[in-house]
Amino acid sequence: MSTEARRKGRLVVVEDENYVRESLGDLLRGRGYEVDLAAGVEAAMELLRTRPVDLILTDLNMPGGGGLEVVRRAQALVPGTPVVVLTGFGTVASAVECVKAGAADYILKPADPDALEVAFARAMRQRSLEMEVAYLRDPRRTDGVQPIGTSPAWLRTLEKVRASAPVDSTVLLLGESGTGKELLARQVHRASRRSAGPFVGVDCAAIPTEVWESEFFGHRRGAFPGAADDRHGRFRLADKGTLFIDEVGAMPLEAQAKLLRALQEGEFQRLGDEHATRVDVRVVAATNSNLEAEIAAGRFRQDLYYRLNVLRIEVPPLRDRVADIALLATHLVAEIAQRLGRRPTPIPERTLAELQAYPWPGNVRELQSVIERSMILDPDGGLRSLDLSPVHGAGSPDGAAEGEEDLTLRVALGRTEKAMVIQALRRAGSVRKEAARLLGIDQRNMGYYLRKHDIDPDKPGQA
């Protein structure tokens, strides 16, 4: 799928005449849309059930159920999705009936391609504004706490989160870096019966191999050289609450066996202890790795995977949530402006269009960085222009000046990210496609990270 198609959105064209249907599909794909074709109402509904859609274009008069039926059933199945009705036999009465049923627009054949595109842009923009207003007026909203978004892909994810919250089964969150997996893990905890207990997080990718057992399970004073005090591990700290294990795919094999036992038995043994410690912990794990591929490569235990993969929730990347970008950007502008001691300003239409056109390989985390950097660089503190350059400076792949000792979180994240890319390339024998698969990203995003960190897989010593 082209980046252009992702920019403009995914459409379903419902038309019973083959020639007209195919012609519309070719025309709209040429205009930068991703297009699915349906020969009738039932075929259209099946598409709406299986994938997120930004807009529906339907013919009015079709055998076996016409455009009005599409409008009514689409509003019931995917509420709020814009439907544009196209017809060669238009009357005022039929137009009014379609609009009353929820159609966003009504266009007569033969439709000018430019007029169609204007109607699509207007309908999707109106939907985006409606979602933003509904969100801002929602009395249940809690800034900085509740997940933000109303796109179909995000709502399906939240529905799975809500369904998983009341039970104690293990949850596995799968998705690219920066998609909000920790935010969703916190949401699972807040909506569970454990909400009064602690929420404890641990990032497997950030734990050195030699200290992972102490980090997870703790140790008694004197258990090993340097153990000057007793320490509770993350499992003990999360007792009666939730333990969020981030980047579980990065856990070494020897650690996986002990984690599996702790999950199965509900107990573990601290380093230096003679007796086991029992805990009552609910585990939510997350990863951006392809765990099935890691199992096949012998780097992840299959039995642990089965134990973790009870309630599986796939978190969509931001490029599949284009309808949420305006909402997220508005929220981030207000949040960052408050932190900078400024008054938040509306996002210009041109800037919003640029935000929605960008593929966001770093997802919501990258969106936040771009908005903050652009607000700081704008003399008026607004978003009249965007700085979409890589988050880290060009002078050093880590974003730190030569010899700089001040290790900011941004620099640390950059170094970890670069190290993971290099590690994946080494595992893959410098084959970019395989390295991208190991990292759980596509080849286009792999190219982005290679440029960002100035990595040349073909250069000796770099990968």
**Residues paired with residue 231 on neighbouring β-strands, in sequence order:** 219
Interhelix angle 432-439/443-452, nearest 10 degrees: 100
- 24 or 386: which leads in pLDDT: 24
Least-confidence region, from 114-118, 390-394, 443-447 = 390-394
Token pair in block for residue 262:
């702790």
**Tens digits of residue pLDDT in 51-84:** 667 899 998 888 877 888 899 888 888 778 899 9
Q: What average pLDDT does the segment 434-448 reach?
A: 75
Interhelix angle 152-164/181-190, nearest 10 degrees: 40
Q: Which amino acid is at 182?
A: E
pLDDT (0 to 100) of residue 403: 37
pLDDT (0 to 100) of residue 173: 97
List the one residue out of 389, 449, 442 whose CA is nearest residue 414: 449
Supply the mean pLDDT for the chain: 80
Share of the chain above pLDDT 90, in %: 24
pLDDT (0 to 100) of residue 442: 67
Share of the chain above pLDDT 70, in %: 82
pLDDT (0 to 100) of residue 286: 95
| 414 within 8 A of 391, measured Cβ to Cβ | yes
pLDDT (0 to 100) of residue 104: 87
| 14 within 8 A of 38, measured Cβ to Cβ | yes
Residue 301 reports pLDDT greater than 90? yes
Residue 142 reports pLDDT greater than 50? no
Residue 396 reports pLDDT greater than 70? no
Most confident of 249-258, 293-302, 334-343, 384-393: 293-302
Residue 154 reports pLDDT greater than 90? yes
pLDDT level of residue 315 (50, 70, 90 thresholds): very high
pLDDT (0 to 100) of residue 295: 93
Residue 136 reports pLDDT greater than 60? no
**Tens digits of residue pLDDT in 115-125:** 888 888 888 77
Most confident of 4-8, 132-136, 228-232: 228-232
Q: What average pLDDT does the segment 432-453 reach?
A: 76
pLDDT (0 to 100) of residue 140: 39
Residue 394 reports pLDDT greater than 70? no
**Residues paired with residue 37 on neighbouring β-strands, in sequence order:** 13
**Tens digits of residue pLDDT in 323-364:** 899 999 999 988 888 887 777 888 888 888 888 888 888 899
The phi, psi pair for 259, rounded to 5°, reads -65, -45
pLDDT (0 to 100) of residue 90: 63
Q: What's CA 87's distance to the chain center, in Å?
A: 38
Residue 95 reports pLDDT greater than 90? no
**Tens digits of residue pLDDT in 169-206:** 999 999 998 899 999 999 999 999 998 888 988 888 88
Ordered domains of the chain (ranges, CATH): 3-134 (3.40.50.2300), 152-314 (3.40.50.300), 318-377 (1.10.8.60), 396-463 (1.10.10)
pLDDT (0 to 100) of residue 239: 84
d(CA 227, CA 230): 7
pLDDT level of residue 244 (50, 70, 90 thresholds): very high
pLDDT (0 to 100) of residue 405: 40
Residue 42 reports pLDDT greater than 50? yes
Token pair in block for residue 444:
């286009």
Residue 440 reports pLDDT greater than 60? yes
Q: Which amino acid is at 396?
A: S
List the one residue out of 391, 408, 411 whose CA is nearest residue 452: 391
pLDDT level of residue 412 (50, 70, 90 thresholds): low
List the one residue out of 18, 40, 36, 38 whose CA is nearest residue 28: 36
Q: Which amino acid is at 71?
A: V
List the one residue out of 160, 445, 170 whose CA is nearest residue 303: 170
d(CA 313, CA 320): 15
pLDDT (0 to 100) of residue 380: 66
3-state secondary structure the chain: CCHHHHHHCEEEEECCCHHHHHHHHHHHHHCCCEEEEECCHHHHHHHHHHCCCCEEEEECCCCCCCHHHHHHHHHHHCCCCCEEEEECCCCHHHHHHHHHHCCCEEEECCCCHHHHHHHHHHHHHHHHHHHHHHHHHCCCCCCCCCCCCCCHHHHHHHHHHHHHCCCCCCEEEECCCCCCHHHHHHHHHHCCCCCCCCEEEEEHHHCCHHHHHHHHHEECCCCCCCCCCCEECHHHHCCCCEEEEECHHHCCHHHHHHHHHHHHHCEECCECCCCCEECCCEEEEEECCCHHHHHHCCCCCHHHHHHHCCEEEECCCHHHCHHHHHHHHHHHHHHHHHHHCCCCCCCCHHHHHHHHHCCCCCHHHHHHHHHHHHHHHCCCCCCCCCCCCCCCCCCCCCCCCCCCCCCCHHHHHHHHHHHHHHHHHHHCCCCHHHHHHHHCCCHHHHHHHHHHCCCCCCCCCCC
Most confident of 35-39, 216-220, 395-399, 410-414: 35-39
